[in-house]
Amino acid sequence: MSQTVTLALENAKVDIPLRSLLEQIGSTIKVTMHVDSGTPPVPKIGEYWHGQGGICAGIMRGHGGKPDYHLILAVDSSAKFDDIKWGGYGTKIDGADDQWDGQANTQAILRANGTFPAAELATTVRCDGHTDFYLPSKRESALLYANLPDQFESGWHWTSTQVSAYSAAIQNFLNGSQSNYVKDDEFRVRVVRRLTI
């Protein structure tokens, strides 16, 4: 016994075999399914990423076998710091010299004995409920300059990339240049977080 569907319009009724109806609908209607993966849609570079704590800065390639990720720049006023020391002048921190991974650098800095204001401030930032912000690496800072220079005060900003016991890398948001400077000097600090792809 085949199933039928009854269509009624005013005084007329039509019984249509279900299979025929589905074949007709399938050939004339494009069905679009939206599956909510729980991940918010990715905004364009420079747009605020609702619920993610900041502006979409672009995609960082994973380095050393790590996955790629979206880099998100915190833009809340509580995430912008002036006249901050990197800290730890004279201390070589194991694991804080990665040019790519600011998150790993920041974690290494925070595990070290001493006072490291630039990295410590990153842990105080809370935006959209997120508290996993960190000091960007040298390469992450280059991406920030390439994609979001208008989001920064001009001049030098600290990165999390340590160069030696006495210096760390800095990023200039006026012209994009990078350099190294003594850890006890004071520069601006901005923080980022990531969303793994």
**Is residue 163 in some structural domain?**
yes
Q: Are residues 13 and 101 in the same domain?
A: no
pLDDT above 50 for 174: yes
181 is a domain residue: yes
Residue 20: the pLDDT is 75
Same domain for 120 and 171, yes or no, is yes
- pLDDT of 12 > 90? The answer is no
Is this prediction's pTM over 0.85? no
110 in the same domain as 162: yes
Mind listing the pLDDT tens digit for each residue in 62-91? 999 999 999 999 999 999 999 999 999 999
Is position 151 within any domain?
yes
> Do 83 and 178 fall into the same domain?
yes
User: Do 128 and 97 belong to one domain?
Assistant: yes
pLDDT given at position 33: 44
The answer to whether residues 9 and 82 belong to one domain is no
My answer on whether 15 and 55 are in the same domain is no
If asked whether residues 6 and 80 sit together in one domain, one would say no
Are 108 and 24 in the same domain? no
Say yes or no: 18 and 84 in one domain: no
- Residue 157's domain spans which residues? 48-196
Q: Are residues 145 and 189 in the same domain?
A: yes
- Give the chain's domain count: 2
Residue 41 maps to a domain:
no
Distance CA 114, CA 110 (A): 9
